[in-house]
Chains A and B, each alone.
Chain A
């Protein structure tokens, strides 16, 4: 039996935030998971009610609550539409940490987060071996999309995925320190795991764009994960280790802005690092505030700071039609929507065309995709349908996790649409 009184005391910490939900139920209109299942336990109001019930000792089954809590993409659609401004993501992540602390972390997750992810050097080498060995297990699926699929059902099922790059970005680029050139601006580049290990070309496009604008670059080796996978599984220990590692890695060189090309990394550093800094030292907390103030999405940086504003009036028929998917962590978390569209239009060979529901979640949700693939794919199918309806030949986005999900959907459907990062489209136009 569980000690529900003890758990109630733990969850009580969230009470002041929980009580702000007025149960209006408007989150039902925007939640991608609720749209699939129609279940109150899948929508934010229901999850908040479950947490509140824990504080009032109305429940006996914390495991059930935990499962419902994890049946969520953490996309923030609800928070962006909440009339009473409930800080949903803060609550959900803190609740996951509390429940994980109470129920314990699964052995598999413990091994991944604490044994691998929070040791960035080891993690890098591990995936380098993985990149060499993966051909035994996977075979190409779609050349245009660059996807592969498993030769065996286990462990990736029917997914079509982008395989590990033969050489990761950090090896291709090497440690870099260049002075602020004509711009007088210097940035730190936080590459993020998925770009480093699967999509090095995105990282290279970032470097090329910064170089073109005369921006100085600090690219330290041995960067760690931003910590979101650990955090969303409720593992504060691994999260704090990673934050500490990254603080140290980026402390050796001054820079004006910290750019990333990953919406999730940007939003994690900007919002979750400061929000979840409890337990770190005062000095670390002030370093975190510095990083959070400086962090910017690459398109936001190029448009708002570097001043990219050249928008080509595209009318010709021979142009590539490009549509754009808004990553939740960029648009809903940080309100960035205009800048990536501007970057696409800044390439004279691309014609931008808006798709329907561009800001609807693609269904990836990081570990949600691993744990609830069918649901994730069903949500992704709606994104795929909107992409196809737009009749674009390339769909761009600003988050490598969205790229993985969208590539999977398009590849399985056999659609001839390329998936690219906006920075790749922009970098293509630079000579």
Chain B
């Protein structure tokens, strides 16, 4: 339990109504969307101003209280699971869009702004904020930056980090650090913002974020290509990109997922197909028509048995309904859903899919695979029941094997979900001892008392 005098200090800083220490409140912040053990914090704080946030961080540091920042708690690698005896710092009350600048194409936001609400506010001005992580309806921009979240549009538009122009954050002592600018170019000082992106709450606590906006593309076209062989689908992906067409979205679904989606939503998917590619191009209408025609031709050339081009908005919705239903359809098959995001160079996708199928057979597990084929970021989704200890052991072996395969193919542990607690023990395998030591030195220098989300990313 937290010391009464410290509790009173927190109450003075953030207001009594924003300090939660009753048992049930603390329990409700003991998990996130990762399938990991819960850890109940000692205290939950919900600062309503930037100043209060900074002071609360300082007080945590003075008392060596571990501090985990939390937005919507949709993290898939355990990054928002707090430390025992620690503090959960909610950003949900820091949710203002401070500025939306149409002349200079940027926005300044507080960390608790919900991604989809921000994207809608931007679109209302005819502008575009492309990063669209799967949890965007609830996820917060602070969390997106801390995880460097991706999404379906990553292939053409990149990930959250590509839109970060500047960050203001608090160091553990509560000092405000300003980095970046509202300008397109900025080489002033160290690129501390770059250090913050993807730091998973281990190096600083965000107070404000400046994000880049771009003009909204005026046209788009979606299509679905059907393949009787995963290899052909994958070759089609490579061929599209080799022919200098970069679709916004280039999604893959394996046979297991196709059947699950069809069982669930009856959208008329070909259940005998080995793989589907769901593709969308956007831009100027003329460019879109040209790119769509080329993609269609290339898919056919690479052996697609059928290509369905959406001619109306309704048909487009139908294409994406199938993709959106993927996780829902899979997650209903068994009680527990483990969503991985090991990523490989896109040319290695057929090998990776082959490996996942082998792993599923070896450990006798149900694994559906879908994901962002255009950027090699697949989501092998293990369907299991975590209450079954014997099966869960096999799941853990399968996860290890998936990581090993991805690394053997020159890939990476995580494309967009982060390392958090779930994958920190694998980090050295990918990056080497030197990288871990270097990263730990940075952490020690910036957070000597190790209060900022300890144990995440680099372990320890």
**8 more A-B contacts (CB under 8 A) besides A60-B23, A64-B22, A84-B331?**
A19-B335, A19-B336, A24-B33, A28-B138, A38-B93, A83-B328, A84-B332, A84-B337
- Is A22's beta carbon under 8 Å from chain B? yes
Report A-chain residues with C-beta under 8 Å of the C-beta of B40: 58
- Is A25's beta carbon under 8 Å from chain B? yes
Interface hub of A41, A59, A61, A65 (most chain B Cβ within 10 A) = A41
Interface pair A22/B337, CB less than 8 Å apart: yes
B1-37 vs A, CB cutoff 8 Å, 1 = contact: the mask equals 0000000000000000000101111011111110100
- Is A308's beta carbon under 8 Å from chain B? no
Interface pair A38/B46, CB less than 8 Å apart: yes
Roughly how many angstroms separate A83 CA and B24 CA in the complex, as a whole number? 25
Q: A26-B138, A58-B27, A59-B24 are contacts. A85–B332 as well, Cβ < 8 Å?
A: yes
Interface pair B74/A24, CB less than 8 Å apart: yes
Interface pair B33/A40, CB less than 8 Å apart: no
Which chain B residue lies CB-closest to A40?
B28
- Is B248's beta carbon under 8 Å from chain A? no
Q: A19-B335, A83-B331, A85-B332 are contacts. A53–B135 as well, Cβ < 8 Å?
A: no
Roughly how many angstroms separate A60 CA and B22 CA in the complex, as a whole number? 11
Interface pair A59/B27, CB less than 8 Å apart: yes
Roughly how many angstroms separate A180 CA and B337 CA in the complex, as a whole number? 53
- Is B137's beta carbon under 8 Å from chain A? yes
Q: Which of B28, B92, B336 contacts A49 (CB 8 A)?
A: B28
- Report the minimal beta-carbon distance from B151 to chain A, rounded to whole angstroms: 15
Report B-chain residues with C-beta under 8 Å of the C-beta of A46: 28
From 23 to 67 in chain A, residues with beta carbon under 8 angstroms from any chain B beta carbon are 23-26, 28-29, 38-41, 46, 49-50, 53, 58-61, 64-65
B residues with CB within 8 A of A: 20, 22-25, 27-33, 35, 38, 40, 46, 72-74, 90, 92-93, 114, 116, 135, 137-138, 327-328, 331-332, 335-337, 385-387
Q: A20-B335, A25-B33, A84-B331 are contacts. A50–B72 as well, Cβ < 8 Å?
A: no
Report A-chain residues with C-beta under 8 Å of the C-beta of B116: 29
Roughly how many angstroms separate A16 CA and B336 CA in the complex, as a whole number? 11
- Report the minimal beta-carbon distance from A264 to chain B, rounded to whole angstroms: 27
Report B-chain residues with C-beta under 8 Å of the C-beta of A83: 327-328, 331
Interface pair B31/A41, CB less than 8 Å apart: no
From 48 to 105 in chain A, residues with beta carbon under 8 angstroms from any chain B beta carbon are 49-50, 53, 58-61, 64-65, 68, 83-85
From 1 to 33 in chain A, residues with beta carbon under 8 angstroms from any chain B beta carbon are 16, 19-20, 22-26, 28-29
Report B-chain residues with C-beta under 8 Å of the C-beta of A65: 24
Interface pair B73/A25, CB less than 8 Å apart: yes
Roughly how many angstroms separate A16 CA and B24 CA in the complex, as a whole number? 22
- Sample 10 A-B pairs with CB under 8 A, ordered by A number: A19-B386, A26-B135, A28-B138, A29-B116, A38-B90, A40-B25, A40-B73, A46-B28, A50-B27, A85-B332
Roughly how many angstroms separate A49 CA and B35 CA in the complex, as a whole number? 13
- Report the minimal beta-carbon distance from A79 to chain B, rounded to whole angstroms: 13
Secondary structure of the B contact surface, majority rule: loop
Q: Which of B27, B32, B336 contacts A53 (CB 8 A)?
A: B27
Report A-chain residues with C-beta under 8 Å of the C-beta of B387: 19
Interface hub of B23, B27, B93, B331 (most chain A Cβ within 10 A) = B27
Report A-chain residues with C-beta under 8 Å of the C-beta of B328: 83-85
Report B-chain residues with C-beta under 8 Å of the C-beta of A19: 335-336, 385-387
- Report the minimal beta-carbon distance from A335 to chain B, rounded to whole angstroms: 15
Report A-chain residues with C-beta under 8 Å of the C-beta of B27: 49-50, 53, 58-59
Report A-chain residues with C-beta under 8 Å of the C-beta of B24: 41, 50, 59, 61, 64-65, 68
- Report the minimal beta-carbon distance from A189 to chain B, rounded to whole angstroms: 35
- Report the minimal beta-carbon distance from B410 to chain A, rounded to whole angstroms: 31
Q: A28-B138, A40-B73 are contacts. A49–B31 as well, Cβ < 8 Å?
A: yes
Interface pair A41/B33, CB less than 8 Å apart: no
Roughly how many angstroms separate A323 CA and B119 CA in the complex, as a whole number? 29
Roughly how many angstroms separate A41 CA and B20 CA in the complex, as a whole number? 11
- Report the minimal beta-carbon distance from B187 to chain A, rounded to whole angstroms: 38
Interface pair A25/B336, CB less than 8 Å apart: no
Roughly how many angstroms separate A49 CA and B27 CA in the complex, as a whole number? 8
Interface pair B74/A25, CB less than 8 Å apart: yes
Roughly how many angstroms separate A328 CA and B304 CA in the complex, as a whole number? 44
Roughly how many angstroms separate A83 CA and B331 CA in the complex, as a whole number? 8
Interface pair A25/B138, CB less than 8 Å apart: yes
Q: Which of B23, B72, B385 contacts A64 (CB 8 A)?
A: B23
Interface pair B135/A24, CB less than 8 Å apart: yes
Report B-chain residues with C-beta under 8 Å of the C-beta of A85: 328, 332
Report A-chain residues with C-beta under 8 Å of the C-beta of B138: 25-26, 28-29
Report B-chain residues with C-beta under 8 Å of the C-beta of A22: 33, 35, 331, 336-337
Roughly how many angstroms separate A41 CA and B33 CA in the complex, as a whole number? 16
Q: A19-B336, A22-B337 are contacts. A39–B25 as well, Cβ < 8 Å?
A: yes
- Report the minimal beta-carbon distance from A419 to chain B, rounded to whole angstroms: 30
- Report the minimal beta-carbon distance from A404 to chain B, rounded to whole angstroms: 30
Interface pair B23/A59, CB less than 8 Å apart: yes
Which chain B residue lies CB-closest to A25?
B74
Roughly how many angstroms separate A25 CA and B72 CA in the complex, as a whole number? 7
Report B-chain residues with C-beta under 8 Å of the C-beta of A24: 33, 74, 135
Interface pair B336/A41, CB less than 8 Å apart: no
Interface pair B385/A41, CB less than 8 Å apart: no
Which chain B residue lies CB-closest to A82?
B328
Which chain B residue lies CB-closest to A69?
B24
Report B-chain residues with C-beta under 8 Å of the C-beta of A40: 25, 28-29, 73
- For the complex of A and B, list the 7 residue pairs with the smallest distance between their C-beta atoms, beginning with the closest: A46-B28, A40-B28, A29-B137, A83-B328, A38-B92, A84-B331, A19-B335
Which chain A residue lies CB-closest to B329?
A83
Interface hub of A26, A61, A64, A68 (most chain B Cβ within 10 A) = A26
Which chain B residue lies CB-closest to A18?
B335
- Report the minimal beta-carbon distance from B330 to chain A, rounded to whole angstroms: 9
Interface hub of A19, A25, A85 (most chain B Cβ within 10 A) = A25
Q: Which of A25, A39, A49 contacts B30 (CB 8 A)?
A: A49
- Report the minimal beta-carbon distance from A251 to chain B, rounded to whole angstroms: 38
Report B-chain residues with C-beta under 8 Å of the C-beta of A84: 328, 331-332, 337
Interface pair A28/B72, CB less than 8 Å apart: yes
Report B-chain residues with C-beta under 8 Å of the C-beta of A58: 27, 38, 40
Roughly how many angstroms separate A396 CA and B34 CA in the complex, as a whole number? 43
- Report the minimal beta-carbon distance from B90 to chain A, rounded to whole angstroms: 7
Interface pair A25/B337, CB less than 8 Å apart: no
Roughly how many angstroms separate A64 CA and B20 CA in the complex, as a whole number? 13
Roughly how many angstroms separate A86 CA and B458 CA in the complex, as a whole number? 35
Report B-chain residues with C-beta under 8 Å of the C-beta of A61: 22-24
Which chain A residue lies CB-closest to B337?
A22
Report A-chain residues with C-beta under 8 Å of the C-beta of B25: 39-41
Report B-chain residues with C-beta under 8 Å of the C-beta of A20: 332, 335
Roughly how many angstroms separate A19 CA and B335 CA in the complex, as a whole number? 6
Q: Which of B20, B31, B46, B90 contacts A23 (CB 8 A)?
A: B31
- Report the minimal beta-carbon distance from B80 to chain A, rounded to whole angstroms: 10
Roughly how many angstroms separate A59 CA and B93 CA in the complex, as a whole number? 27
Roughly how many angstroms separate A82 CA and B417 CA in the complex, as a whole number? 21
Roughly how many angstroms separate A121 CA and B336 CA in the complex, as a whole number? 49
Interface pair A23/B33, CB less than 8 Å apart: yes
Interface hub of B23, B35, B90, B336 (most chain A Cβ within 10 A) = B23
Roughly how many angstroms separate A49 CA and B33 CA in the complex, as a whole number? 12
Interface hub of B30, B114, B138, B386 (most chain A Cβ within 10 A) = B138
Roughly how many angstroms separate A60 CA and B114 CA in the complex, as a whole number? 34
Roughly how many angstroms separate A51 CA and B17 CA in the complex, as a whole number? 24
- Report the minimal beta-carbon distance from B395 to chain A, rounded to whole angstroms: 14
Q: A40-B28, A49-B30, A84-B328 are contacts. A25–B135 as well, Cβ < 8 Å?
A: yes
Which chain B residue lies CB-closest to A16?
B335
Roughly how many angstroms separate A85 CA and B260 CA in the complex, as a whole number? 14
Roughly how many angstroms separate A58 CA and B23 CA in the complex, as a whole number? 10
Which chain A residue lies CB-closest to B95?
A38
Report A-chain residues with C-beta under 8 Å of the C-beta of B31: 23, 49
Report A-chain residues with C-beta under 8 Å of the C-beta of B20: 39
Interface hub of A16, A40, A50 (most chain B Cβ within 10 A) = A40
Roughly how many angstroms separate A65 CA and B28 CA in the complex, as a whole number? 11
